[in-house]
Chains A and B, each alone.
Chain A
Amino acid sequence: MARLNLVKALNLALRQEMERDGDVLILGEDVGVDGGVFRVTEDLHRTFGSKRVIDSPLAEAAIIGTGVGMALYGLKPVCEIQFSGFAFQCFHQIENHCARYRMRSQGRFHVPLVIRMPYGGGVRALEHHSESEEQFYAHIPGLKMVIPSGPRNARALLVSAIRDPDPVVFFEHKGLYHAAREEVPDESETLPIGRAQVVREGGDLTLIAYGAMLRVAREAADVLAAEDGVEAEVIDLLTISPLDRATLVASVQKTGRAVVVHEAPRSFGPGAEIAASIMDGAFLSLEAPIARVASWDVPYPGFAREKADVPDLARVLAAARRTLAF
């Protein structure tokens, strides 16, 4: 057991999976000698060599495209896209091929590929370095879309993603890389992909969040308890797709009220699918419309305006109070 930040926890997952399974490779820009621009792959090159920790040429489509080929052969590549904002240059490989090979070949082939991408804002970064684009991947049948919220679940989910027989897009929030340390057990552990966690129990309101927004949701729950005498249940989604509808529905059947928080722009974002799923499963329990707190429907406005764009405590509290007062 060691206290690790998110970067070290992810590094531990990669190291242990590479030790466990010789088919696991790392592929991406600057992942080798440099250890990745966020140091997630630090020292792996030294341990496992350049055949397994591959400093690729600078080309996102070929990183994913060759990763697909390696996976079709039976290897388990973990591809790193340096920033999720650059993934549109490989989006066709993800949508056209990663997600579809199992279907296209009727089970003869599958693509056990993990695509790691740093995402999210709040790190004073330029355009294409601060966006949240999980909704694009969550929409694609055949893909799994995972977003951890802290070091321990990040480590466990990355291990699960590497062992998963299907392609997994794995988002890591840049703001969380060094935000906090957690006790992470030395021995490997997994978390089931497709399962959300209730991280705070409550009967009055359900707050649904993931990634860096989980911290905001938890803070909101604390404030609501202290100032409003309201007990909010907080759900950490962990997997965006396939969505754990059962956990969401069970919570809202109890609370009757829900607020979804995410950094992706509001329209057609994960909140829309979450709200529709709750409507399907808990319509008669609902006491108020489901609220969505999300970034506005604008392109990334630059970090000087970012705080007005990305949901914060005040906006989550305001939405929660509107929902409670409805």
Chain B
Amino acid sequence: MPRTVLEPRFQVEYLSILDSEGSLDTALEPDLSAEDLKRLHRAMLLGRRLDERMIRLQRQGRIGTFAPIKGQEASQIGAAFTLRPSDWMVPSFRETAAMLMRGWPIETLLRFFAGHLEGGQPAPDQHDLPITIPVATQLPHAVGLAYAAQYRGDDVVVMTFFGDGATSEGDFHEALNFAGVWHVPVVFVCQNNQWAISVPLKKQTHSRTLAQKALAYGIPGLQVDGNDVLAVYAAAREAVARARAGDGPTLIECVTYRLGMHTTADDPTKYRTAEEVEAWERKDPLTRFGAYLQKKNLLEDGLIESIDAEIAAAVERFEALGPPDPLGMFDHVYAERPDHLEHQRREAAATPADPGPAAPEPPAPSPPMRGQRTTRR
């Protein structure tokens, strides 16, 4: 018997609407109101400004290790913008912009990165999981949430975020496989920012795209220009609509770039060139979208100032909180505190730890995250 070609053959689409030169594909341009365009822009800018502030706060020792999002604002905001409050968002640890859009207060994020457990607590009416740190392990949670929503007959879509490195993890493949088999309403958003700490994409996978990994699981995969908020929005809107209509999961690969470090404990000059970073800076999602809005006369005066004031007020509220009650660590281990924990709590209360100086002086260096080098060049 001769070898035969199995049908169907697969293809992966790439979507770009507004490129870095400012040229716009008007046929694909999403029909967004002026109000929505302004909301998108403000959310991206808030993500960027908070990012810059967080790095300064970390350098000053006022928060701990932080994973910056600079360069990935369009990927996060374009995708999260398509969710309803009743939908669920399942983040990794590099989604501060999307989390802000989903209603996480800035001071809650500050608390998270300052090591307060309280920074992981969503509001009672918020359908968001807290930050997940182990790479790709949140993806099965998103699939389970989507299964449960479908089981209950709820009109709910689940969106989960992860990076390019996550696509090498078993949990990524297991999650896509389960989602495909169960045909559940979940949207996988991969922020392919080209670097998993120091490992470039070409060492992460031999695949031409990450989007094509969806095809092996029988679900649609689409690659988009992740620095083009209009393209990300259009792709996510389509995927969310597909999920909502009962037509199953989608993988969206947002091709973007981490302009900053992996975390504040990292020095990216060690593993990548300034030329590469500069090339991506020219594709900055904010510059591109700002120019687009300017043409539409939608840029708001004083926007940066109002965002900075919002951040400053949140930082002030966060710092007024002071250190958390150490004994709070015994409160949410189990629904009811077992005897041995009650004893340990009493023991801890009787022998309080030295609280140390009120403010660390000089700032304590943050520990690395996940295999990070601690040495600097």
Return the contact of B120 from the options A65, A106, A110 (Cβ within 8 A).
A106
Per the bound structure, the CA–CA distance linking A110 and B331 in Å amounts to: 13
In the bound complex, residues from chain A placing their C-beta under 8 Å from that of B120 are 104-106
User: Interface size (B, Cβ < 8 Å)?
Assistant: 41
Let me know if A229 is at the binding interface, CB within 8 A. Answer: no
The answer to whether B121 touches A105 (Cβ under 8 A) is yes
Shortest distance from the beta carbon of A15 to any chain B beta carbon, whole Å: 19
The answer to whether A92 touches B134 (Cβ under 8 A) is yes
Let me know if A246 is at the binding interface, CB within 8 A. Answer: yes
In the bound complex, residues from chain B placing their C-beta under 8 Å from that of A56 are 178
Per the bound structure, the CA–CA distance linking A106 and B325 in Å amounts to: 13
Return the contact of A102 from the options B137, B140, B334 (Cβ within 8 A).
B334
Let me know if B340 is at the binding interface, CB within 8 A. Answer: yes
Which B-chain residue is minimally distant from A112 (CB atoms)? B335
The answer to whether A72 touches B181 (Cβ under 8 A) is no
Per the bound structure, the CA–CA distance linking A204 and B144 in Å amounts to: 52
The answer to whether B175 touches A73 (Cβ under 8 A) is no
Let me know if B117 is at the binding interface, CB within 8 A. Answer: yes
The answer to whether A104 touches B143 (Cβ under 8 A) is no
Let me know if B118 is at the binding interface, CB within 8 A. Answer: yes
User: Which among B124, B134, B143, B144 has the highest number of chain A CB atoms within 10 Å?
Assistant: B144
Return the contact of B332 from the options A71, A77, A103 (Cβ within 8 A).
A103
In the bound complex, residues from chain B placing their C-beta under 8 Å from that of A25 are 151
In the bound complex, residues from chain A placing their C-beta under 8 Å from that of B137 are 61, 65, 92-93, 96-97
The answer to whether A194 touches B134 (Cβ under 8 A) is no
Per the bound structure, the CA–CA distance linking A75 and B150 in Å amounts to: 12
The answer to whether B144 touches A166 (Cβ under 8 A) is no
Let me know if B170 is at the binding interface, CB within 8 A. Answer: yes
> Known: A65-B144, A69-B143, A92-B134. Contact between A245 and B334, CB under 8 A?
no
Let me know if A74 is at the binding interface, CB within 8 A. Answer: yes
Shortest distance from the beta carbon of A51 to any chain B beta carbon, whole Å: 6
Let me know if B141 is at the binding interface, CB within 8 A. Answer: yes
> Known: A65-B141, A246-B339. Contact between A59 and B177, CB under 8 A?
yes
Per the bound structure, the CA–CA distance linking A89 and B174 in Å amounts to: 11
Which A-chain residue is minimally distant from B337 (CB atoms)? A242
Which A-chain residue is minimally distant from B334 (CB atoms)? A166
The answer to whether B141 touches A72 (Cβ under 8 A) is yes
Q: Contact mask B124-157 → A, CB, 8 Å, 1/0?
A: 1000011010100101111111111101100000
Q: Contact mask B306-348 → A, CB, 8 Å, 1/0?
A: 0000000000000000000000010111110011110000000
> Known: A51-B151, A245-B340. Contact between A96 and B134, CB under 8 A?
yes
**Residues of chain A from 109 to 139 with CB closer than 8 A to chain B in the complex:** 109-110
Return the contact of A242 from the options B170, B181, B331, B338 (Cβ within 8 A).
B338
The answer to whether A108 touches B121 (Cβ under 8 A) is yes
Q: Which 3 A-B pairs have the closest CB atoms?
A: A69-B144, A65-B140, A73-B148
Give 28 pairs: A residue, B residue, CB < 8 Å, sorted on A.
A57-B174, A65-B139, A65-B143, A66-B140, A68-B140, A69-B143, A70-B147, A70-B148, A70-B151, A71-B144, A72-B145, A73-B145, A73-B152, A74-B152, A75-B151, A75-B152, A77-B144, A92-B137, A93-B137, A93-B171, A96-B137, A97-B132, A97-B137, A102-B332, A105-B122, A105-B332, A110-B335, A243-B340
Q: Assuming A69-B141, A72-B148, A73-B145, what are 9 further A-B pairs, CB within 8 angstroms?
A: A57-B174, A61-B140, A62-B174, A64-B140, A65-B143, A71-B144, A102-B334, A103-B332, A104-B120
B residues sitting closer than 8 Å to A (CB atoms) are: 117-118, 120-122, 124, 129-130, 132, 134, 137, 139-149, 151-152, 170-171, 174-175, 177-178, 181, 329, 331-335, 338-341
A residues sitting closer than 8 Å to B (CB atoms) are: 25, 51, 56-57, 59, 61-62, 64-75, 77, 89, 92-93, 96-97, 102-110, 141-142, 144, 164-166, 194, 242-243, 245-246
